[in-house]
Homo-oligomer: A and B are copies of this chain.
Amino acid sequence: MNERSVSHNTFTIERSYPTSPQRTFAAFSDPVKKRRWFAEGEGFDIDAFEMDFRIGGTERVTFRAPNGAVYVNHTVYQDIVQDQRIVLAYTMGSAEHRISASLSTFEFLPTGKGAKLIFTEQAAFFEHADGPKMREEGWSKLLDQLGAELARTIRSERT
């Protein structure tokens, strides 16, 4: 009882994409695109994907692992500036217990060739959490998947 049950951590990941800030932002605001790069990972079934992209709106993704374990990602949008910034708070956990709460900031900056995305995660990890190393690896993989989604956008515009 005398021990702390929370550890805090902040990390930043930067990525450059060949799409404009507007197109990059659209991969977050369009539920069809967001579901593709954010939720449809390997080895997990999606039980539910509900998204209400507006300030104060919520998003809930429920995954089922091959062993039947259910994971819930629950998001509340805290701030949105069209094509420039998205700030959201999310928790990760099972249906009953959360293992973490985070504040995530996505900044979309124009570059000569497309967009720079600066992602900042400010996390509080609870008992049985993955911790900052695994979380950063997880987000790095997601931002790779975002890159694949944006490449798909470019291909579909050329055809």
Residues of chain A having any CB pair with chain B under 8 Å: 1-2, 4-6, 8, 10, 55-56, 74, 76, 78-79, 81, 84-85, 87, 89, 91, 98, 101-103, 105, 107, 109-110, 118, 120, 122-124, 126
Contact = CB atoms under 8 A, between A and B. Distances in A.
A126 to B, nearest CB: 7
Q: What is the interface of chain A mostly: helix, strand, loop, or mixed?
A: strand
A102 B76 CA distance: 12
A120 B8 contact: yes
29 contacts: A1-B109, A1-B110, A4-B118, A5-B81, A6-B85, A6-B87, A6-B105, A6-B120, A8-B120, A10-B122, A55-B98, A56-B74, A76-B76, A76-B89, A78-B89, A78-B91, A78-B101, A79-B91, A79-B101, A85-B126, A87-B101, A87-B124, A89-B101, A101-B105, A102-B103, A103-B122, A120-B124, A122-B122, A122-B123
